[in-house]
Amino acid sequence: MKPSCGWSEGVRAVMRKYDLPFEDRDIINDPEQRQEMIQKTGQMLQPSVEIDGNMLADVSGDEVEAYMLANNIVEDTDREADAPTDQPCENEMGESEIKFR
């Protein structure tokens, strides 16, 4: 995951919400981690999360949470995430806006 990115922070927030241990690998400052991600996922987009041997590539925190709930990895909870779970990186905000006249 990127050290500073809305998508990555959303994944972290979901892991914290369910008190799950996770290894946060920095693909920006560690080229070996980035190469491993590309090799395992076949693509360059992040965050990519490996859960019990299954790779989830280019996912939001919402998508990670949905996957874990659907696969009975976690049970639904009323706890709120401590950060937005579906927000782009700051430099990507507004890029996908479509403007009509």
The CATH number of residue 69's host domain is 3.40.30
Examine residue 34 and state whether it is found in any structural domain, yes or no.
yes
Domain that holds residue 47: 6-76
Q: From the centroid of its chain, how far is CA 59?
A: 5
In a domain, 97, yes or no: no
The answer to whether residue 18 sits within a structural domain is yes
pTM of the model: 0.82
Tens-digit pLDDT profile for residues 51-68: 999 999 999 999 999 999
Return the residue matching tokens 């990555």.
Answer: 8
Q: What is the pLDDT of residue 74?
A: 97
